[in-house]
């Protein structure tokens, strides 16, 4: 696991590019504190390097990794969990290895032999840059679901890339501007969808996408190498599916546990992370569980520490519970915003969890990915009638988009001071994605989550927060073999009805889970936003919702924000329904987080009350 970076600019002298790369690597040392190195190709002034977090093969895994003949080089961020199997295949072809178990060396040899054809063989998480030193061509790719990040800019004279947008902008050759489309999308989603970023001309390589660039003539080619899709196998028996899920899960946890260092688990007390602890116990894999709770009595309803403790006791696993209060959050807020490179209006507890885990561990499991397939989000429960309809754009907006997301397109016309003539409605963007693939409405809904929120919110923020503390987080449910099977399960079994969306997954692990976890309601890994904003964070909110602060950038309308905030504080009758009020409080939180992001990242000021 590491951070990777590369840069070429035909208008700059070699020493300027070299200085930029060296500074960028220093800014990435939290992603890889164990070593740092780069290579310069003097023929075209292309510099590329990495910072390394040593998980496998301490002595022989340093990068850039070169072929024996020095014709090819690789910088690689991630883990190939089936590298042992792939290595045996290569050894049968008389490929010699100098490392003991380096997945980097396995990937390099596969790319030399097969180029992009090998991508479908890779199980795990990755973003990499493979460089042909003779042809001066780079081949870049990102894993199926976008577990590992890749940001880049490209024009007719320069190309730069990095694992993090924050250090990429340090050598972007022009003045950066906020992308209005991204800002518009953000207030509906609380994240920014690929391939855009918050900045114009800086892109995020989409999940399952490859990029080729010839550094001599600057010709660029981009294509999807993997597209998630449901292909129901109607021969599957509902009674047999749970045992198949369990068997595949037992196998995958063995592969995803490959490590030369101890492993931990972020145990929320919910179903998905609890299954991971149970599987580890069943496969005799030693892990330690970490669970976050809340100190304030008024916030206890958001904690699942009791369920997590009961499970850890049942499994006889080492377990650490720690609790936070609003003042803990405020003390860390400036550092959290230092780590958030784009506006983000989602939950922040994982930052606290990864900070705690990283004190003693380099690797942690996470349960990300199951809900997208099995539909356990509360927003799915509102869609039972919608699922029975033919979906045109108007019904999509009214019964789907405006029910699942936050600011509607109509609200954003009042909230944002933007010329929206050249902005695509977020609802239309998602409607088009919704209709990209065949399948029933349940499958389309799941695919929309997989292609957007899973990649661009959950996996993105998990990588950002964990790597801020040199911690490798492994979302093992996104294993190729397991997800390939999920894609075969007919939606009538996989999703079920809106009253018990996750019944199939629960039934696969009833012998592992406690009764409290199976019967418990999903709480989500979120902060007690309403409690905190109306009490301990009210001074912070008032400061950044002030006319002075909002008018600093002029991007959002002060009067509209003030009206929303007043309704939130007074819990207006207009928002008496819980779901509407929940969306209101999340929108308020998203506006505040944008204000704080702007203060920290654009104004370059420390966040103080």
Residue in 345, 346, 418, 332 with CA at minimum distance from that of residue 595? 345
Q: What is the pLDDT of residue 581?
A: 76
Cα 273 to Cα 509: distance, rounded to the nearest angstrom: 12
Residue 466 per-residue DSSP state: H
Residue the block writes with tokens 């600019």: 9
Residue 365 per-residue DSSP state: E
Task: List pLDDT tens digits, range 377-429.
Answer: 666 776 666 666 678 899 889 888 888 899 999 999 999 999 888 899 999 99
Mean pLDDT, residues 113-121:
97
Dihedral over alpha carbons 195, 196, 197, 202 (to 10 degrees):
90
Q: Is the peptide bond before 195 cis (omega within 30 degrees of 0)?
A: yes
Residue 11 per-residue DSSP state: T
Its pTM stands at: 0.94
Task: List pLDDT tens digits, range 143-172.
Answer: 999 999 999 999 999 999 999 998 898 888
Average pLDDT across the chain, whole number: 89
Cα 333 to Cα 340: distance, rounded to the nearest angstrom: 10
Token pair belonging to 382:
């509102």
- CA Rg, the chain, in Å? 24
Report which of residues 97 and 300 the model is more confident about. 97
User: Which of 19-23, 38-42, 210-214, 308-312 has the highest average model confidence (pLDDT)?
Assistant: 210-214
Residue-range domains of the chain with CATH = 2-224 (3.60.20.10), 241-375+459-519 (3.40.50.620), 528-609 (no CATH)
Q: What is the pLDDT of residue 306?
A: 84
| Residue 482 burial by Cβ neighbours in a 10 Å radius (0-12, 13-18, 19+) | buried
Strands 203-204 and 151-154: antiparallel
């Amino acid at each position: 696991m590491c951070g990777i970076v590369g840069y070429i600019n035909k208008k700059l002298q070699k020493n300027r590019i070299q200085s930029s790369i060296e500074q960028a690597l220093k800014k990435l040392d939290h992603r890889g504190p164990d070593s740092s190195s780069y290579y310069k190709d003097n023929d075209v002034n292309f510099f590329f390097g990495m910072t390394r977090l040593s998980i496998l093969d301490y002595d022989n895994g340093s990068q850039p990794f070169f072929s024996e003949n020095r014709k090819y080089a690789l910088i690689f961020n991630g883990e190939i969990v089936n590298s042992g199997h792939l290595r045996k295949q290569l050894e049968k072809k008389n490929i010699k290895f100098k490392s003991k178990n380096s997945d980097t060396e396995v990937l390099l040899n596969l790319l030399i032999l097969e180029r992009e054809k090998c991508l479908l063989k890779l199980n795990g998480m990755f973003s990499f840059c493979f460089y042909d030193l003779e042809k001066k061509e780079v081949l870049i790719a990102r894993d199926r679901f976008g577990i590992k990040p890749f940001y880049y800019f490209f024009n007719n004279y320069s190309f730069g890339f990095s694992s993090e947008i924050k250090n990429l902008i340090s050598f972007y050759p022009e003045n950066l501007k906020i992308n209005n489309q991204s800002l518009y999308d953000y207030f509906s989603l609380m994240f920014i969808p690929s391939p855009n970023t918050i900045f114009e001309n800086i892109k995020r390589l989409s999940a399952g996408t490859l990029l080729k660039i010839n550094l001599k003539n600057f010709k660029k080619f981009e294509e999807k190498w993997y597209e998630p899709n449901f292909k129901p196998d109607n021969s599957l028996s509902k009674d047999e599916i749970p045992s198949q899920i369990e068997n595949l899960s037992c196998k995958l946890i063995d592969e995803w546990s490959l490590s030369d260092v101890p492993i931990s688990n972020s145990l929320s007390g919910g179903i998905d992370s609890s299954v991971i602890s149970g599987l580890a116990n069943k496969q005799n894999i030693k892990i330690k569980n970490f669970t976050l709770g809340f100190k304030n009595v008024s916030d206890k309803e958001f904690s699942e520490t009791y369920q997590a403790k009961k499970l850890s006791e049942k499994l006889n696993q080492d377990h650490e519970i720690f609790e936070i209060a609003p003042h803990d959050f405020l003390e860390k807020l400036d550092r959290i915003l230092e780590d958030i490179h784009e506006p983000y209006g989602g939950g922040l507890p994982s930052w606290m969890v990864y900070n705690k885990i990283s004190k003693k561990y380099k690797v942690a499991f996470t349960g990300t990915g199951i809900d997208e397939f099995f539909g356990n989000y509360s927003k799915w429960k509102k869609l039972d009638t919608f699922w029975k309809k033919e979906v045109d754009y108007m019904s999509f907006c009214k019964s789907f988009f405006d029910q699942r997301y936050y600011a509607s397109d109509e609200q954003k016309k009042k909230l944002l001071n933007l010329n929206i003539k050249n902005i695509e409605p977020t609802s239309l963007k998602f409607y088009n994605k919704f209709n990209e693939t065949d399948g029933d409405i349940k499958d389309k809904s799941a695919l929309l989550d997989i292609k957007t929120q899973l990649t661009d919110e959950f996996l993105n923020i998990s990588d950002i927060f964990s790597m801020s503390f040199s911690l490798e987080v492994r979302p093992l449910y996104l294993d190729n073999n397991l997800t390939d099977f999920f894609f075969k399960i007919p939606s009538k079994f996989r999703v079920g009805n809106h009253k018990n969306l996750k019944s199939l997954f629960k039934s696969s692990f009833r012998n592992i889970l406690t009764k409290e976890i199976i019967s418990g309601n999903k709480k989500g890994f979120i902060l007690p936003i309403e409690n905190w904003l109306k009490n301990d964070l009210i001074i912070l909110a008032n400061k950044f919702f002030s006319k002075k602060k909002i008018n600093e950038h002029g991007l959002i309308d002060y009067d509209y924000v003030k009206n929303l905030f007043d309704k939130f504080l007074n819990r207006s009758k207009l928002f008496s329904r819980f779901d509407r009020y929940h969306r209101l409080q999340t929108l308020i939180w998203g506006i505040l987080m944008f204000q704080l992001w702007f203060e920290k990242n654009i104004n370059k000021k420390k966040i103080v009350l």
